[in-house]
Amino acid sequence: MTTRFNHVVDGSPVLKDGDFRRIQKFLYDLSGIHLAEAKRSLITSRLSGRLRELSLSSFREYFDVAMSPEGSSEGTLMVNALTTNETYFFREPEHFKFLQKLLTENKSKASWRIWSGASSSGEEIYTIAMVMADVFGLKRDWIVKGTDLSTKVLKMAAQGHYPLERNEGIAIERLKKYCLKGVSDQQGTFLIDPNLRQHCEFSQQNLMESCDRLGMFDVVFLRNVMIYFDGESKQRVLNNTLRQLKSGGYFLISHTESLMNTQHTLTQISPSIYRKD
């Protein structure tokens, strides 16, 4: 039996230089995300399944399909595949200790709005929500907004349904309060309690574009995002997100990131945590 896959390495079609540059330019023009040369293997692994599904023999053919007027849904799938990043509950826990202290010290504040600019599959959103519920309970006026470029991960996030092994990092007390363990055909999974999920909202947002429609926030998490941007795109994303942060609000980035060589009106109060003047 013959196959249309003529050029393969370890079972995957070869990503040629020209095709890599086309995909690289497309994603950069769309989102400002720069796919470095080291990301070739990631592109190959994440898109090879789509080539097989569509019976295509090259990345050039696939890109042409994804960019055609009839292939708009495939273009969305390609963006989803290339922008999905791994996350987990209570990642970089120092940030959530800071958040809990901030909320506790300002417990009399009538309402809170917190935004995660790259919510991925929702773990960061629900981590924030658990901390807020610890301080305010579930009847106070508070909202956690999660946005992402990928529609695929946003759908997963809104469902709040995860394999049981993903609960690592959630303290047992919080698991009991805010998570439901799957039984019967849902065994091996857990669900974020609907009472917590009702405080969480998800929508698609390209951070390279205006974020005004989202409203203003008291705290903004933008973690493990800016490492994917070059200097110009990083500044643009920073401007767009900081425009939605209230004066006196807090801006959190990952410990692996830096705001060096950017312009802003933030005051650093501890590593990776800033306050807007």
Query: What pTM was computed for the model?
Result: 0.84
Nearest to 225 by CA among 240, 247, 210, 246: 240
DSSP state of 5: -
Q: What is the pLDDT of residue 188?
A: 93
Residue 241: what pLDDT? 97
Rounded to 10 degrees, what is the CA torsion of 266, 132, 148, 237? 0
Measured CA angle at 211 (ends 84, 261), to 5 deg: 75
CB 43 within 8 A of CB 62: no
Q: Does 46 participate in catalysis according to the annotation? A: yes
Which pLDDT score, from 0 to 100, does residue 9 have?
41
Q: Which domains does the chain have, with CATH numbers?
A: 8-83 (1.10.155.10), 94-276 (3.40.50.150)
CB atoms inside a 10 Å sphere around CB 169:
14
Beta bridge partners of 251: 220, 274
Who contacts 123 (Cβ-Cβ below 8 Å, separation ≥6)? 87, 88, 89, 91, 162, 166
pLDDT given at position 228 = 81
**Count of helix runs (H) and strand runs (E) in the chain:** 10, 12
Active-site position among 46, 50, 236, 275 = 46
CA angle 270, 98, 131 (to 5 degrees): 155
Cα–Cα distance, 45 to 234 (Å, whole number): 27
Residue 71 has a pLDDT of 61
Q: Is the dihedral of CA 255, 259, 265, 270 positive or negative?
A: positive
pLDDT value at residue 84: 67
Q: What does the pLDDT read at residue 40? A: 86
With a CB cutoff of 8 Å and minimum separation 6, the contacts of 41 are: none
Whole-number pLDDT of residue 6: 39
Contacts of residue 137, Cβ cutoff 8 Å, sequence gap at least 6: none
Condensed to tens digits (0 to 9), the pLDDT of residues 234-249 reads 999 999 999 999 999 9
* 179-181 vs 189-192, strand pairing mode: antiparallel
Q: What is the pLDDT of residue 11?
A: 56
Rg (CA), the chain: 20
Q: Of residues 19, 148, 193, 218, which has the active-site annotation?
A: 148
- Give me the residues of the chain with pLDDT under 50, please: 1-10
